[in-house]
């Protein structure tokens, strides 16, 4: 994929402090709202730059954005170069980021008006990654957000296990997010993520199709990559900080339900490989067991639905996960975890996730948000 030349380093003392990368194409009705959501985060201590990558829109949206934001120094408007498509736009954009912190924003999604609390809390903790929950909503009628007042604090290991079948222990109201609009991470980790994604998919048709061509799974890999890299407990805002707007023209439109699931399942395949390479046997065993179980379920679902495409490749991926986990240091953990996951949920002898909840001081949040 074509990449853009790296910009000169930003002055660490200057604003902006974080970048929203916003790929867009022919979303004239919604992209302005997405940019405004990002700019609403801009305040003392949380200076924002919005890097808009237009995929050569034909609906006049780029011209309209130029007229509306062309004189705003917080908005950088660029047209995509090189290969076309959503993931090429992401790969084109990441080297252009000039701030130490970054995330992606999608042109049909909506941020909470309190999203800047993520920045304040990340600063307070000296953390490198922070996240909240997301909630699905109507494209045309954004949800009403309440300010999140409680944090869940847990280790990277516990958070990864939550993504591997134990998320209900964190929240029964919202599912763990896949879209990066609900998190903030380090820009250098995003650069490493692009390289890891290319290595993982190169020469593997199943992975290339779902993750690179259909955009299912790379966003979840941002979470996994950041969680693995993070030192110390991770703060999770115990409530929605963004809305994911599902609709017929979304970037994953046209995907059958099990197609979309395959992309996110592949992100778990990548996670297991990384955990094994890092020698984290217990986590790798649990992740591998969960991934194999979900792979078998996917195979059965696709067979019942008459979805023969990719069945062979999916079976080979599932068998590969099982083989690599079984014949590694994670083997014992894999076997024990797999039989545990086969039990009915109420019968599983699981210890509770090691987490604690902490109330956020309102006065502190207001001061740091500049409100």
Q: So what's the pLDDT on residue 141? A: 85
Residue 182: both structure tokens together: 């609900």
Cβ atoms 97, 73 nearer than 8 A? no
* pLDDT, the chain, mean: 89
pTM of the model: 0.91
pLDDT band at 249 (very low <50, low <70, confident <90, very high): low
Higher pLDDT, 254 or 233: 233
Work out the average pLDDT over 239-247: 86
Q: So what's the pLDDT on residue 174? A: 81
Cβ atoms 88, 178 nearer than 8 A? no
- What digits encode the pLDDT tens for the residues 184-223? 999 999 999 999 999 999 999 999 999 999 999 999 999 9
Work out the average pLDDT over 337-363: 83
Work out the average pLDDT over 96-111: 95
Cβ atoms 53, 136 nearer than 8 A? no
* Contact residues for 246 (Cβ-Cβ < 8 A; gap 6+): 136, 139
CATH 3.40.50.300 assigned to domain 7-107? The reply is no
Residue 46: both structure tokens together: 């949380």
Q: How far apart are CA 76 and CA 47, in angstroms?
A: 14
Give the three-state DSSP class for 371. Answer: coil
Question: What ranges do the domains of the chain cover?
Answer: 7-107
pLDDT band at 112 (very low <50, low <70, confident <90, very high): very high
Give the three-state DSSP class for 270. Answer: helix
């Amino acid at each position: 994929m074509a990449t853009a030349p790296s910009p000169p380093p930003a002055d660490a003392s200057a604003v902006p402090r974080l970048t929203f990368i916003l790929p867009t194409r022919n979303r004239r009705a919604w992209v302005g709202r997405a940019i405004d959501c990002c700019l609403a985060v801009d305040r003392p201590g949380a200076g924002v730059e919005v890097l808009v990558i237009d995929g050569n829109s034909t609906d006049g949206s780029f011209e309209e954005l130029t007229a509306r934001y062309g004189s705003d120094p917080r908005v950088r408007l660029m047209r995509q170069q090189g290969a076309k498509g959503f993931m090429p736009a992401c790969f084109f954009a990441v080297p252009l980021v000039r701030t130490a912190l970054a995330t992606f924003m999608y042109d049909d999604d909506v941020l909470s008006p309190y999203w800047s609390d993520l920045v304040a809390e990340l600063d307070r903790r000296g953390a490198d990654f922070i996240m909240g929950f997301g909630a699905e909503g109507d494209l045309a009628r954004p949800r009403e957000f309440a300010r999140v007042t409680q944090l869940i604090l847990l280790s990277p290991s516990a958070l990864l296990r939550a993504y591997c079948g134990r998320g209900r222990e964190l929240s029964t109201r919202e599912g763990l997010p896949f879209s990066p609009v609900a998190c903030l991470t380090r820009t250098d980790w995003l650069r490493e993520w692009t390289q890891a994604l290319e290595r993982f998919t190169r020469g593997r048709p199943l992975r290339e199709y779902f993750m690179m061509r259909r955009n299912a799974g790379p966003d979840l890999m941002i979470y996994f990559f950041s969680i693995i890299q993070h030192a110390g407990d991770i703060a999770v805002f115990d409530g929605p900080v963004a809305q994911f707007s599902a609709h017929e023209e979304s970037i994953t439109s046209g995907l059958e339900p099990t197609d979309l699931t395959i992309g996110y399942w592949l992100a778990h395949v990548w996670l297991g490989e990384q955990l094994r390479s890092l020698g984290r046997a217990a986590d790798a065993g649990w992740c591998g067991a969960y991934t194999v179980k979900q792979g078998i379920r996917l195979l059965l679902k696709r067979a019942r639905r008459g979805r023969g495409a990719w069945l062979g490749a999916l079976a080979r991926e599932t068998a590969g996960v099982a083989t690599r986990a079984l014949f590694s240091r994670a083997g014992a953990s894999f076997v024990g975890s797999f039989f545990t996951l086969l039990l009915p949920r109420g019968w599983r002898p699981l210890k509770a996730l090691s987490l604690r909840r902490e109330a956020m001081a309102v006065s502190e949040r207001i001061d740091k948000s500049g409100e």
